[in-house]
Structure 1
């Protein structure tokens, strides 16, 4: 998903997520891009976060250059029949410095 964030500073990515039955070698990662070509991992979930409960994640993007086509991607590699990763209420917010 892409958003025009070129005019904003001190941006954070916030979302709620939960993992269930997550274990190695499963992967669940959040990536960002300010050009749609180069992607950077900003969050990689760990097995210890797999408690089945929703948690609020707040990722500070203030060191990343914003653009008019800023994108976020959620990627997973796991068994879809026995593993669960749910993401909800995704938003970009500005935070006072």
Structure 2
């Protein structure tokens, strides 16, 4: 399990049973792009309009490689918004 925090709320979202819809969408996109879920999460975060950055708290080389694969994912706008909706946010 990778500890991606959800905003200022406590806990994690990646791999957490507390966010089944979000993780199902992340898994779907990971399968589509043949990457690990951490890559999709990184792609999603780094494509946020606020120019967010990912801070990895790991020294495990394979996790770093898996996360970096997110920079190669051509995440479409519809896919990005599907993740937002799966995270429970309503769109106008």
TM-score bracket for the superposition, by shorter chain length: under 0.3
Which structure ranks higher in relative contact order (CA pairs < 8 Å, sequence separation ≥ 6)? 1
- Is the radius of gyration larger for structure 1 or structure 2? 1
Q: When the two structures are superposed, what TM-score results if normalisation uses the length of structure 2?
A: 0.26
- Structure number with the higher helix fraction is 2
- Structure number with the higher strand fraction is 1
